[in-house]
Amino acid sequence: MKWTSSIKPNVFFYIGIIVGIVNAVFLGFNFFLSLLSIAIILFSDTFTEAINTFLKGSH
C-alpha cells in the first residue's frame, strides 16, 4: 500500500489543534480561525473518511 492511498485518522485532528494554538499565540485569537480550528477538530473523522474514499477510488 502506498503512503498516498490513505490518510491517518488523527491528521486533521492535530492540524486543528495546531491552527488553534497558532491562532491563540501569534494571531491574537482571530474568531474565524477559532471557528475553523474547532470545525476541523470536530469533523476530522468525516474529512478523513471522505478523502480516503476518494483516494481508494482513484486507482
Q: What pTM was computed for the model?
A: 0.76
Contact 48, 12 (CB under 8 A): yes
Residue 51 is assigned to a structural domain of this protein: no
Residue 53 is assigned to a structural domain of this protein: no
Number of domains in the chain: 1
Residue 26 is assigned to a structural domain of this protein: yes
Q: Which domain holds residue 18?
A: 13-45
Which pLDDT tens digit goes with each residue over 9-37? 789 999 999 999 999 999 888 999 999 99
Residue 1 is assigned to a structural domain of this protein: no
Residue 58 reports pLDDT greater than 80: no
Residue 21 is assigned to a structural domain of this protein: yes
